Amino acid sequence: MEKLRVIYSKSKEAIYLSHLDCLKVFQEALVRADISVGFSKGFNPRPEMTFAHPLSVGIESTGEIFDIILTEEIDIPYFIKELNRVLPSGLTLLAAEYVNLNEKALMSRVYAATYLITFIYPKDKLQGKNLKEIEKLKKNYQNKMDDYLSQRNILVLKKSKDRMERIDIKTQIINYEFTLDGKLEITVSTGSRTNLKPEFVLSGYKEYIDEELEFEIKRTRILYM
């Protein structure tokens, strides 16, 4: 038996696949690609696959990870090529490597994830402005985001079926910076114990500036120990 760690991207129509949908798609692709995998024991044997961390529906990613148990070692380029050949549009294997078979389960080792946030600026505010004015407006939104994330406490309204409360998410934001093209790269706590979704961070920002604003979210990396 061999354990292969696979990095894949999720884009296009595939962003609307749930975690369970993805699991089923990969299981079927392994069969169609004639890849021999290990199966769990019990009344309902399934391919031994472990995903690092589920991704919210509707979010793109270039850094998803899963581990798969193979019955024998196969050439990695062949594995990637054959699986990509049968996977649907939007799911693409990017890289893979063999890891220690006895490693602790990947999902239990995840502690953070990095996201790239793209601002979708209101068209009505951009209309009629020259390039310098547009850049100034965009910079203003970015400065407000920096002010929001720099607060000593970031209190965000959390809604549930039973109640509404404000929770402080400051300690769950590990790091952030702006890219040269004005996007926000943010790393947040992620895992089985603590899981801060970027949508939650952005909902707090919209409340902070008292304005509805849209964003595109992409997960670029999952961090694990």
pLDDT at 186: 98
Q: Which CATH number fits domain 2-103: 3.40.50.11540, 3.30.2010.30, 3.30.70.580, 3.40.50.150?
A: 3.30.70.580
Q: What is the DSSP letter of 38?
A: -
pLDDT at 9: 98
Nearest to 124 by CA among 201, 3, 211: 211
**Residue 28 to residues 18, 81, 98, 170, 216, Cα–Cα distance (Å):** 15, 16, 22, 41, 30
pLDDT at 44: 78
Q: By the 8 A CB rule, do 23 and 79 touch? A: no
pLDDT at 216: 96
β-bridge pairing 214-224 and 173-178: unpaired
pLDDT at 163: 85
pLDDT at 89: 95
pLDDT at 80: 97
Q: Which residues of the chain have pLDDT under 70?
A: none
The CATH topology of domain 111-224 is Alpha-Beta Plaits (3.30.70)
Question: CA triplet 90, 64, 103: central angle to 5 degrees?
Answer: 145
Residues in the chain: 225
* End-to-end Cα separation, the chain, in angstroms: 23
pLDDT at 159: 83
The C-alpha atoms of residue 42 and residue 5 are separated, in whole angstroms, by 24
List where CATH 3.30.70.580 sits in the chain.
2-103
